[in-house]
Structure 1
């Protein structure tokens, strides 16, 4: 009887194991890059010219009846810098200037789990729910409307963006509801609650010389302040046509000393005709800080041509500031790129991007140049491999 029970337990354990799986995948990207930022030139070896270098741990458990539990832990890293991957946020230097520089160099770029984090349940034919630090649907919309994603070529962080600040693609403490796909359509709702309960007193210095920021993350709700995010997205993909629309509202009013609310509306679409894919991106950003408003509108058109192992792409875009300090001014993007696919997972790439930034949307610290130069150019030649 005991042997039978042991055998049954062993079979049950084997069956449970057979219904669960864990996989590791990722991307490595590095090469030569050249940057000319409004007259300031620099070049050298850099990563992420074509895609974000990362490693992912993914797991799935089949719970039966079409119900699955799954998770993702993403870690983004630098391919070309050890220090950038050390996650060091302190310094032994007593010099304040050197300390600030050390904090930048020894950033948390490679800290484990610094990318998308989520755990969720998926019910076949109905939809899914996820919790974590989850990518916005706007990231998918951006990829639907232009071929460069957040890498060089699409003007990401300047003329195009995902979140309000133009520097992130996800938010903390999120819940996401996603429908199943019906006739090519899928709906998404992302929600992250605003936190305003933290003590607004002066920040205290720590023994490392760093400052404990009021908006720093804590594992205890109410011990920190953070902006609130609400996003609604609708995606469609069927045959040669794909389209996506996202509206993302982010509110930092009363988050510490915050007074800003922003709405980012993004529409992306593409249509494939044989070897040619045409793409369109429209984005409006409405920002209110106190009583000061800034509105921008952006339209971009792209084409991708596939010829054997070679992909050629080109884009043109124009951002116009409708309300604000630079009202009526425009920032214009032109870019082109090429991929030569060595295999299904590995490619050599070329990217070239030029933005004439008369609307002053690039890098606030460098928007004014004494020579009147408003142009930024970026060029990258590199290797990308997926695994």
Structure 2
């Protein structure tokens, strides 16, 4: 009888170690957008103007000894139409990190990872955010969404015809993240192999690293990345950001530089963002000013600036109303051969201006 009780206790201990959980989560966000450009105006509803609308599943299993297995599957949702969103910008959501995909279907192309974690840190494999984008996101008061989204990130979508995967997500990515340390220091390394045959040029491979510090009110990060592109030359990104939380206000700053290295078509895009967030009433006020310059061997230099202000009013822990206003001014800046940087579907000329605002509601679950 004693042996039976021992065996039962061992079985229960094993089951306790193997506890697992799966969580369904998401965001629904719909806003009214109005944009006025010197070429074209646009008004309508759009998804994800404060936070990207999404549906996700995440799970974890306790393997014992401090080790866990985990997975994440997350898909974009166009909440205003109920459809999926495959590619928000050219090249950013491609399966090979170098070509665009079709819009409209429901795919788990936001995040699709599986991994292990323990006292040594964590390792994940699959489609994930790049370390350079995580820096962009951390130092943009508007969280890379809506009319106020950072110029540093959004202009990168048109830096090359394939876009700039350094500034969002990469497929086939293996990511190692160090464990939390009392010193506040952290590191992240991500590598995606070029999945091409040995007789072809290396394409789509990504290497990226981020070093960070976060302790008390101060946080700072530096990151770099490179995406292999044989036809146009590799895209290289270097970014640095810092923020300090004074309580009444949290100012933040980022500087970022993109380089494209094709012979006869070398290009450089560099810029900075200075912004702040501050608690106000039951919500949060946001502000940013950013400027981007671009030079290239085969194009005239250009510049674009953006000023954005906004407010998020919390109705509860999960639901909020929001409003954002943005003003963009182009000085020979070209996102395409004939158009400057624009907000949404409102189009500006290479020397024109575009004004836009968002009014919407967002809830998380």
TM-score in terms of structure 1 length: 0.78
- Structure 1 residue 291, shift from structure 2 partner: 2.8
* Aligned with residue 304 of structure 1, among 277, 280, 287: 277
Q: Which residue of 1 aligns with 2:61?
A: 61
Residue 122 of structure 2 corresponds to residue 122 of structure 1: no
Residue 285 of structure 2 corresponds to residue 315 of structure 1: no
CA RMSD in angstroms, aligned pairs only: 3.1
Contact 1:240–1:272, Cα closer than 8 Å, also in 2: yes
> C-alpha distance in 1, partners of 2:300/2:336?
18
Residue 183 of structure 2 corresponds to residue 177 of structure 1: no
Look up the SS of the partner of 2:207 in the other structure.
strand
CA separation of 1:372/1:364 partners in 2, compared to 1, >3 Å: closer, same or farther?
closer
Contact 1:144–1:242, Cα closer than 8 Å, also in 2: no
Look up the SS of the partner of 1:63 in the other structure.
strand
> C-alpha distance in 1, partners of 2:315/2:302?
43
> C-alpha distance in 2, partners of 1:127/1:187?
10
> C-alpha distance in 1, partners of 2:158/2:221?
13
> C-alpha distance in 1, partners of 2:32/2:85?
23
CA separation of 1:25/1:312 partners in 2, compared to 1, >3 Å: closer, same or farther?
same
Contact 1:162–1:169, Cα closer than 8 Å, also in 2: no
Look up the SS of the partner of 1:189 in the other structure.
strand
Matches within 5 A, 1:1-387: 11=12, 14-15=15-16, 19-82=19-82, 84-85=83-84, 107-108=104-105, 110-111=106-107, 113-124=108-119, 126-152=120-146, 153-156=148-151, 157-159=153-155, 165-166=163-164, 169-182=168-181, 183-197=183-197, 226-253=203-230, 258-325=231-298, 328-363=301-336, 366-367=339-340, 373-387=351-365
- Structure 1 residue 85, shift from structure 2 partner: 2.8
> C-alpha distance in 2, partners of 1:242/1:383?
30
Contact 1:320–1:359, Cα closer than 8 Å, also in 2: no
Q: Encode CA deviations 1:54-105: one digit per residue, 9 max, x unaligned.
A: 12211111112211111111111110114x3398xxxxxxxxxxxxxxx96x
Q: Encode CA deviations 1:322-362: one digit per residue, 9 max, x unaligned.
A: 44455553211111111111112211011122221224243
> C-alpha distance in 1, partners of 2:351/2:164?
23
Q: Encode CA deviations 1:172-229: one digit per residue, 9 max, x unaligned.
A: 11111111122111111110111332998xxxxxxxxxxxxxxxxxxxxxxx984111
CA separation of 1:5/1:274 partners in 2, compared to 1, >3 Å: closer, same or farther?
closer
TM-score in terms of structure 2 length: 0.82
> C-alpha distance in 2, partners of 1:266/1:174?
20
Look up the SS of the partner of 2:326 in the other structure.
strand
Contact 1:232–1:247, Cα closer than 8 Å, also in 2: yes
Contact 1:262–1:285, Cα closer than 8 Å, also in 2: yes
CA separation of 1:268/1:31 partners in 2, compared to 1, >3 Å: closer, same or farther?
same
Look up the SS of the partner of 2:109 in the other structure.
coil
Contact 2:264–2:297, Cα closer than 8 Å, also in 1: no
Contact 2:223–2:239, Cα closer than 8 Å, also in 1: yes
CA separation of 1:107/1:50 partners in 2, compared to 1, >3 Å: closer, same or farther?
same
Task: Structure 2: give runs of 5+ residues left out of the alignment.
Answer: 87-100, 342-346
CA separation of 1:28/1:64 partners in 2, compared to 1, >3 Å: closer, same or farther?
same
Question: Radius of gyration: which is bigger?
Answer: 1
Count of aligned pairs between the two proteins = 339
Look up the SS of the partner of 1:366 in the other structure.
coil
Task: Give every structure 1 segment of 4 or more consecutive aligned residues whose post-TM-superposition deviation is greater than 6 Å.
Answer: 3-10, 161-164, 368-372
CA separation of 1:143/1:292 partners in 2, compared to 1, >3 Å: closer, same or farther?
same
Q: Which residue of 2 aligns with 1:95?
A: none
> C-alpha distance in 2, partners of 1:371/1:117?
38
> C-alpha distance in 2, partners of 1:278/1:86?
33
> C-alpha distance in 2, partners of 1:371/1:319?
16
Contact 2:40–2:348, Cα closer than 8 Å, also in 1: no
Look up the SS of the partner of 1:343 in the other structure.
coil
CA separation of 1:231/1:371 partners in 2, compared to 1, >3 Å: closer, same or farther?
closer
Which shows bigger deviation, 156-165 or 140-149? 156-165
